[in-house]
Amino acid sequence: MKNGITRNDLNIGIRHENIISVQITNGKITKENIQELEEVIKILNNNYEHINIILLLAGTLGLTLSANVEALRLFFKTKDVIKKIAIVSDKKWIEFGTKVENFVTPWKEEYFPSTELDDAWEWVKSNK
């Protein structure tokens, strides 16, 4: 993997120093997708103590059961590595989910509608 992974409706890439960009358009997020994200996190963590993620979600989305289990495993494994996640989507249930996740995750999550993509990038790049 040179600069990231692109497959069907998934794109994971290293952007701007310690920031991972994940773009998902249509389809189900799988266990393998979560494992691919983990691999990118490991690569960046070799050079940076903390990692930020910008997550761009569009279209019809879902999560397989095995992806949920894998995401939970990744959560515990990276809880001290991930600092912030900017979530960009126009889906209200994702906005609500972001608010709920802020109560249980050790990192900060912020929701942005797609019209505020530039603001999402600024937030995820900032040290706030």
Q: pLDDT tens per residue, the chain (128 residues)?
A: 445 545 555 677 666 788 988 888 767 788 888 888 888 888 888 888 999 999 888 776 677 778 778 888 888 888 899 999 999 988 888 888 888 888 888 889 999 999 999 999 999 998 76
Distance in angstroms (rounded) separating the CA atoms of residues 128 and 71: 25
- CA 91 to chain CA centroid, nearest Å: 16
Q: Where are the domains of the chain?
A: 4-125
Nearest residue to 28 (alpha-carbon basis) of 63, 59, 57: 63
Q: Tell me the whole-structure pTM to 2 decimals.
A: 0.83
CB 66 within 8 A of CB 90: no
> What dotted CATH number matches 4-125?
3.30.750
